[in-house]
Structure 1
Amino acid sequence: MSRSQARLPDNRPRCLDAQAPTMIRRRLTPLSRTPLTGHIGEALHIAADRRPHQVITTDRPADTDPTGALARTYAQWAHAVDEAAGWLHELGVRPWDRVAVLKRNHFDISVLACAAARLGAVPALLSGAYGPEIAHPLLARLDLPFLVTDRAHLKACGIDPGTVTRLTERTVCVDGPQDRPGLVDLDDLRGATPPGPAFRAEDEAMIITHTSGTTGIPKLVVHSAESERSIALIESERWPVIGIRPSDLWAYSEPFWHERQTHNLLSLTAIGPRMLAISDPLAPSVRDLLVAHRPTLVEALPNVFLAWESMARDPARPFGRVREYINSFDAIHTRTIRTFLDASDRRMPIWLQAWSQSENGTLLMRPYVRWSVRRRGRRPAPTQSLGWPVPGFGRIRTVDPVTGEPTRRGEAGLVEIAQPGRCLAYVGEPERHAAKRDGEWWHTGDFGVINRLGALRIVDREIDRLPDGSAIELEDVLLDRLVNTTEVIVLPVAGQRPVPVVSTADDMPLDLEEWRQATAGLPALADPIQIRWEEFPRTGTWKVRRVELRERLVPGSRPHGHGSWT
């Protein structure tokens, strides 16, 4: 397909033709602190205008500038965006082109995204955690994107010369093409002069990211400047106690390709904190970096916090100054919250659990303090209660998965959310997007129970649910009761007992007597399967790919759920 064939008469690419209506919001209250733009192409420039000397420090050099400084001011990062816009324009990128970024995790992914959006192109940020079986379909859905990648992902994602020709308009390699035909060396583009900014209209597609893909090929999620700005309202607000402050030193360890990072960039225009951008949470240097910088605010993926538990007990107290922890995406384990709250030397540190989705941003929030997670092995796990929507902004309900009728408080049902900022489309899958919409309501794909106070207790993902009980609850309880475990996953298997899969610190053999004691009083489980932590198949957001794990360990088995809303 040629580029001309892929476009509509208004020059919009056919892959971005479908667009559903969405609610938008300009501010939460008349006194709210709000992001100053919804366009990521100018976010770092606006942040630099307001706080030119504020610093973002990375844990390693940028792949696009390997000799550059680790610590750069907002103004210097904005200049890096201008430089990258020049490279992309020299490559041939023009308005409405898609620019796929598939490279090693680093803050420079955000630089490339901002640069593409500054040209009026649509950045499509892809995780490098998957192989050719996922990378190729995602590239195909984007209809001949320009691709920015590196040597490691050329190999891991099977991007050979034929793939470059078939699936991309042009492909640039940030660390040299190794004499491969069809690739452009980034060094050949350096020094090009960027054109002036040409942002997409506020209601048009501005950025594409993707979901985690726990059950198959991830969905490519489209957002506009309007929808992103609506999502960023929650983070930008001056919340008492839990709000992010300009004085914070924010240690941030999230995937920079993820939707979460998009509205983070927008919030910088309003808040402007100092940041520590961690690209590899398992790198040995991270501990020394945290000790040296002593952050006051730490945000990471739930499973990154789990992997950091040993570091939280380090005598150097790398988390000693932390006043607030934030975990996004999913439920967090009780043991993990307890460990990190005890790692702070503050009188009353707080943990904010923010349940979110790529399609909608933050859905629910709930704070924790030390006393709320003090009891060990408690049922139901306190972290199953994910909290409440932002008052006056979001609404939540549960519905019967068969009839679609709302269920009563206290009854389990499929969770639906209604709030501003919902995504516009799934690229290449309009029917899938339409199936998850019910007017202003959106099917999250989760089962839960709303209590009489309006808080949601999550039960399970629909496809991962148990007929009686909750896999999420069992995992939290077992992890809390078995102190040497580093991961516990309970797999639902139709016609059989749920199968627990565990890993342990230093791969020590699981003590079966301890296991018997830990499972006392729990629903009957199959015998545990022990594997190494590295053997759990994970998404780019470190979630365990449960379907793949079940198929690997229990071949031929089926789940209880069917995944219609996944």
Structure 2
Amino acid sequence: MSPLAGLPFARAEQDPTGSCLRDGERALDNATFADAVRRLARRFADLGVAPGDLVAVMLPNCAEIVTAQFAAWYRGSALVPVNPVLTDDEARYQLEDSAAAVVVGDERARGLAAELGIAWVDAATVHAGTGALEPDAEPDAPEPDAGPVAVADDFALVIYTSGTTGRPKGVLLDHANLDAMSASLVEHFALSPADTSLLVLPLFHANGLIASVLSPLRAGGDVVVAPRFSPDTFWDLVETHRPTYFSAVPTIYAVLDARTSWTHDTSSLRFAVCGAAPMPAELITRFEERFGIPVVEGYGLSEGSVASTINPVDGVRKPGTVGIALPGQEVAVVTADGDRLPTGERGEVVIRGANVMRGYLGRPEETARTVRDGWLFTGDVGIIDDDGYLRIVDRIKDMIIRGGENIYPKEIEECLYGHPAVLEAAVVGRPDPVLGEVPVAYVATRPGRTASADELVAHCAASLARYKVPVRVEVLAELPKNSVGKLVKGRLRELDLPHCGHG
């Protein structure tokens, strides 16, 4: 049996009344949570859900998603978390592509399930009656199974990539992947029963499910499920629930820094994690000094079960890097031909370890291109220093080639973040008839601050080589982001700008 599938029941046996999962006003102890998982697993069995089937869940952040995950694993099934803000067409694609047998959700999910001819479980009933027998249940009702049936090589999660390029792909993670990943995070962060995770990232993403839920539960700690992130309520949640850590994306840190105007009690927090996109070193330093919380930036992909490098909590943290390889993983930088590069040289980042995905659902060719000889080819450009710290330079596909010169947008973005008025910055390449491509920058300013396009161009020109200076800067109210809070450059490339010229 997968140790993760049996986790709720091991916790309930060891400490029945210990805190497990909190969600708003609801608090589930270990015994209550295990009971809810077992009950939902029985319902899945009654609906014909079998080992190897896929269970979809389409809900905003709530405890029911976590219960559905463990109930699916109880049956030897995998969970497919579907982003609830997707359009019907987008959600339908993921339900059909994964061939989900059942969907747990609200009335909207019920309509999609009926349309696709699959079973539906009303999310409102998942925890109903938990801790007490339902009216029609017999006290000695037989279990559908002797216990959780999932084993190491059973699929556990199908996580759909954000789809910034083409149709989203289903990343297949098995129990062995999640076992390795959660063990790695528990070791790196020294998680223990004393830890409480405050979940603010969405639960349809690997980061939320694995780093913020599975890992602390495995360590004996508990989880507070927050609703959608809001700077107006975030610090109240910290003061009320006293978490020891949270994981967030750079946008959240930037917004908290910009919109927090009074002092809060952050003493419960041991550390905070930043991932999903590069965080400006200057913002990390400012946030740490202002709020008294170590911010450890990390790096990873859903294809690598979420994290592969993270800065240490207690050791040397190097802002501007994404840290060192996590326990059990190997991270290297290679040439276009796949040859390993020495420290200090830039190339494609590759990852090897038990955390690397089984593949993309139904896409053997793409799997073969992405995972070669056990190495996950990330598509990211990086440099590893003499101490083993990785710095992400950019995405290979985002690199701008201007008149034969390679430009990495991240370098320009970091320069823009150094301007006191800049809250967010993104740089993309624009076609140019003479130079091939030129860099164009998009910026959103901090509340109450302004900066003109000319001022920002001059700011770049003061510290960047002339060929790297953006030919144009557009100041927008806010930059487009996906549901995880990651800047979406594809939407910026689609904006209809006048011809840029080539200066």
Q: CA 1:453–1:339 in 2, change beyond 3 Å: closer, same or farther?
A: closer
- 1:220-369 paired onto structure 2 within 5 Å: 220-237=170-187, 239=188, 242-264=189-211, 265-268=213-216, 270-282=218-230, 284-310=232-258, 313-345=260-292, 349-361=293-305, 362-367=307-312
Q: For structure 1, which segment, 48-57 or 523-532, has the greater mean C-alpha deviation from structure 2 after superposition? A: 48-57
Q: CA 1:513–1:549 in 2, change beyond 3 Å: closer, same or farther?
A: closer
- 1:124-523 paired onto structure 2 within 5 Å: 124-151=80-107, 154=109, 164=113, 167-174=116-123, 191=134, 195-196=144-145, 197-237=147-187, 239=188, 242-264=189-211, 265-268=213-216, 270-282=218-230, 284-310=232-258, 313-345=260-292, 349-361=293-305, 362-367=307-312, 382-383=319-320, 385-390=321-326, 393-401=328-336, 403-467=337-401, 468-482=406-420, 484-494=421-431, 495-506=436-447, 509-512=450-453, 514-519=455-460, 520-522=462-464, 523=468
Does the residue aligned with 1:446 lie in a helix, a strand or coil? strand
Higher relative contact order (CA 8 A, sep 6+): 1
Q: Which residue number corresponds to residue 550 of structure 1? A: 493
What count of residue pairs does the alignment treat as equivalent?
477
Q: Which residue number corresponds to residue 112 of structure 1? A: 68
**Amino acid in the other structure paired with 1:499:** V
Preserved CA contact (<8 Å) 1:59 1:286? no
- 1:55-94 paired onto structure 2 within 5 Å: 55-56=19-20, 58-60=22-24, 69-94=25-50
Q: CA 1:291–1:200 in 2, change beyond 3 Å: closer, same or farther?
A: closer
Q: Which residue number corresponds to residue 8 of structure 1? A: none
Distance 2:495 2:333 in 1: 33
**Amino acid in the other structure paired with 1:472:** K
Q: CA 1:532–1:44 in 2, change beyond 3 Å: closer, same or farther?
A: farther
Does the residue aligned with 2:56 lie in a helix, a strand or coil? strand
Distance 1:504 1:294 in 2: 32
> Which of 28, 46, 61 is 2:10 aligned to?
46
Q: CA 1:128–1:544 in 2, change beyond 3 Å: closer, same or farther?
A: farther
**Amino acid in the other structure paired with 2:484:** T
Does the residue aligned with 1:528 lie in a helix, a strand or coil? strand
Distance 1:408 1:133 in 2: 46
In structure 2, list runs of 5 or more residues that go unmatched. Answer: 138-142
- 1:534-549 paired onto structure 2 within 5 Å: 536-538=480-482, 540-549=483-492
Distance 2:56 2:296 in 1: 32
**Amino acid in the other structure paired with 2:452:** D
Preserved CA contact (<8 Å) 2:50 2:76? yes
Distance 2:480 2:127 in 1: 35
Q: CA 1:116–1:441 in 2, change beyond 3 Å: closer, same or farther?
A: same
- 1:13-32 paired onto structure 2 within 5 Å: none
Normalised to the residue count of structure 1, the TM-score between the two structures is 0.75
Does the residue aligned with 1:322 lie in a helix, a strand or coil? coil
**Amino acid in the other structure paired with 2:310:** M
Does the residue aligned with 2:8 lie in a helix, a strand or coil? helix
Preserved CA contact (<8 Å) 1:146 1:170? yes
> For the aligned residues, what is the CA RMSD?
3.3
Q: Show CA shifts across 1:181-208 (max 9, x none).
A: xxxx998999486633342332122222
Distance 1:506 1:88 in 2: 49
Preserved CA contact (<8 Å) 2:296 2:317? no
Q: CA 1:338–1:465 in 2, change beyond 3 Å: closer, same or farther?
A: same
After TM superposition, give the deviation of residue 219 of structure 1 in Å. Answer: 1.9
Alignment identity in percent? 23
Larger % of strand: which?
A: 2
Normalised to the residue count of structure 2, the TM-score between the two structures is 0.84
After TM superposition, give the deviation of residue 97 of structure 1 in Å. Answer: 2.1
After TM superposition, give the deviation of residue 444 of structure 1 in Å. Answer: 0.9
Q: Show CA shifts across 1:424-450 (max 9, x none).
A: 121121211111122021101111123
Preserved CA contact (<8 Å) 1:466 1:492? yes
Distance 1:257 1:350 in 2: 26
Preserved CA contact (<8 Å) 2:197 2:246? yes
In structure 1, list runs of 5 or more residues that go unmatched. Answer: 1-36, 61-68, 177-184, 374-381, 558-566
